[in-house]
Amino acid sequence: MKIETLEVKAALVMLKPVHEVFEAIVDPAKMTNYFISKSNGRIEEGKKLIWKFPEMDMEFPVRVAKVEKDKYISFYWNDMDGRELLVEMTLLQKSSDSTFVTVTEKSRENDEAGIKWLMGNTEGWANFLACLKAYLEYGINLRKGAFDLSQMPQP
């Protein structure tokens, strides 16, 4: 039986209370410390945002779908092929000072382009979670300079 569609899923525990994790995701001033370089607003239900990333000279439109304080965030954005995809983030408080965060991005066809998307975006969302964790728990911006390919040795 062949799986018809593919979806990205990544998850990680943050050693911070759920509200602190939620605010780090929805507040653009905090997001610039681990994910984006600029946003025209806070993630709020029904908003249309523009995100910029430090390593790309492009703007990414984001259409916020649903927000449940301290529990759930969903938005649509376009992949590199121009397809609008749904991203869902679920926050589950595990204890007073730990939160389980799951990111799911849906979906692409199970073909060569879909498999390439699945690999790249799974890596991307795992990186997002690692950067979020480093920022929240240690105040470190792991993303800063990480994608400056001019620093890579040439073959």
Q: E strands of the chain, at which residues?
A: 5-14, 38-39, 48-52, 59-68, 72-78, 84-95, 98-109
What pLDDT score does 153 carry?
A: 58
SS3 121: helix
In a domain, 151, yes or no: no
In a domain, 153, yes or no: no
What pLDDT score does 149 carry?
A: 53
In a domain, 30, yes or no: yes
SS3 61: strand
Q: Taking 60 as the threshold, does the pLDDT of residue 152 lie above it?
A: no
pTM: 0.90
Lowest mean pLDDT among 27-31, 97-101, 145-149: 145-149
In a domain, 10, yes or no: yes
What pLDDT score does 1 carry?
A: 66
pLDDT band at 144 (very low <50, low <70, confident <90, very high): confident
In a domain, 80, yes or no: yes
Residue 102, exposed/middle/buried by CB under 10 A (0-12, 13-18, 19+)?
Answer: middle
The CATH number assigned to the domain holding 123 equals 3.30.530.20
How many domains, the chain? Answer: 1
Q: Taking 70 as the threshold, does the pLDDT of residue 150 lie above it?
A: no
In a domain, 155, yes or no: no
Render pLDDT for 51-96 as a digit per residue (tens, 0 to 9): 998 877 888 999 999 999 999 999 999 877 788 999 999 999 998 9
In a domain, 40, yes or no: yes
Domain span at residue 43 reads 5-146
Render pLDDT for 99-130 as a digit per residue (tens, 0 to 9): 999 999 999 999 999 999 999 999 999 999 99
In a domain, 128, yes or no: yes
